[in-house]
Structure 1
């Protein structure tokens, strides 16, 4: 039998915190081993509990600004094997970039609306705990058009076809899936992606996974924004 996923939950909102705990109680393979309501409590819980993954709000006491992002950075240094999924109310570009600044492995960034979909949330927690990277699709794919319209955008270096390919990369699609969607060969997609990496100045030894970094160029150009109406629901995985 697979060992339960050991989770530390950090959320200062009483109702949401109780709701997440109640949802996860329905899964025998998930064990909430500690609950925190602020940054200091989260750090203490991480040091105390032998957890696999942290699920944390992005904003908690004492400052209600970026505690979740700062916690993820500290955990990267002190418990590098521990995955962290950050919950946010809006598709905040700067925070998404900060979260993966030291590497995208074992990091997730989700809109709070995903919490209601318990199966999806548990799948994300497991993937991040295993070292994967999951970023809410609304954070990347939904901001593509706004980013491409900026005259000083790095995206202006791309051809229309390359921008189309990068849109699908931002949604977490594989080369094969992109090829099928665009009715081109896998080799053609690979050539487009290599050209995208070169034009966006993403070197082979980049500390970020280059597919994640390429997708997040959108966010770097767009800045902070709420998820646009009609954006595709789901998560992007790399």
Structure 2
């Protein structure tokens, strides 16, 4: 797998390079600042990107901004975002562009090598990976799981496909039902999960995905 890494901490950056290369991957570029990311991605066209949220020059949100722009340019690019702390807004913003092929992990997970490599592998196959701490803070795990029990088998199928990043037409095609039926199921899912009707539809889809993923955190 060809990978671009963006991390300003030199020790951690070199540690990631060593970890990935010793496990058979090819690190084609490393970046130490936000403005370096998009040119590296455009130039190398990697199979995946591993990006820190906070990078120079401001150490605020350069990494997540680059991730969002990269996904706008290439929605199929798998991106694994690393963060020192749980930053719920960034996790939700990343997912709003599509849950397929994205991950958000705390840096502590890198030390758990098998989990880190599994997360990277999962996003490159179109999966979604969210750190358990993110799930814990974004949702009430107990309430989310209990509410999922109220979904019908068909609603669970629809929610699973949403979590895979499929849009309504693709869900309708996969389940051999109409788009109108898909929309009806989604409205019912939102109601049963207690997601406010006044909320943005895309934001509610993200929260529904988080509820689904809370059953089996990465």
Q: Please report the TM-score for the alignment, with normalisation by the length of structure 1.
A: 0.65
Deviation of the 1:142 alpha carbon: 5.0
Preserved CA contact (<8 Å) 1:82 1:106: yes
What's 1:13 paired with?
9
What's 2:89 paired with?
94
What's 1:22 paired with?
18
Deviation of the 1:143 alpha carbon: 5.5
Structure 1 portions without partners, runs of 5+? 146-162, 170-174, 218-231
Preserved CA contact (<8 Å) 2:81 2:105: yes
Structure 2 residue 142 is the aligned partner of structure 1 residue 164: yes
Corresponding residue SS for 1:87: strand
Deviations 1:9-60 (A, max 9, x none): 00000111111111112212x2111111111211111011121111010000
- 1:133-148 to structure 2, matched below 5 A, reads 133-142=128-137, 144=139
Q: 1:214 aligns with which of 208, 215, 218?
A: 208
Preserved CA contact (<8 Å) 2:4 2:29: yes
Preserved CA contact (<8 Å) 1:104 1:209: no
Structure 2 residue 115 is the aligned partner of structure 1 residue 120: yes
- Higher RCO by CA contacts (8 Å cutoff, separation 6 or greater): 1
Deviation of the 1:106 alpha carbon: 1.6
* Structure 1 pair 36–200 and aligned structure 2 pair: CA distance change class (3 A): same
Structure 2 residue 31 is the aligned partner of structure 1 residue 41: no
Preserved CA contact (<8 Å) 2:190 2:204: no
* Structure 1 pair 185–89 and aligned structure 2 pair: CA distance change class (3 A): closer
Preserved CA contact (<8 Å) 1:106 1:132: yes
What's 2:190 paired with?
197
Greater per-residue helix proportion? 2
Deviation of the 1:216 alpha carbon: 4.8
Deviations 1:139-195 (A, max 9, x none): 1125645xxxxxxxxxxxxxxxxx7351479xxxxx7xxx7xxxx9985x95xx876
Structure 2 portions without partners, runs of 5+? 160-184
Q: Please report the TM-score for the alignment, with normalisation by the length of structure 2.
A: 0.71
User: CA RMSD of the aligned region, Å?
Assistant: 3.3
Deviations 1:80-118 (A, max 9, x none): 221111100111111111212222222110000011122
Distance 1:37 1:202 in 2: 42
Distance 1:167 1:14 in 2: 40
* Structure 1 pair 99–125 and aligned structure 2 pair: CA distance change class (3 A): same
Preserved CA contact (<8 Å) 1:6 1:33: yes
Preserved CA contact (<8 Å) 2:3 2:49: yes
Structure 2 residue 214 is the aligned partner of structure 1 residue 236: no
Preserved CA contact (<8 Å) 1:103 1:208: no
Distance 2:118 2:127 in 1: 11
Preserved CA contact (<8 Å) 2:5 2:49: yes
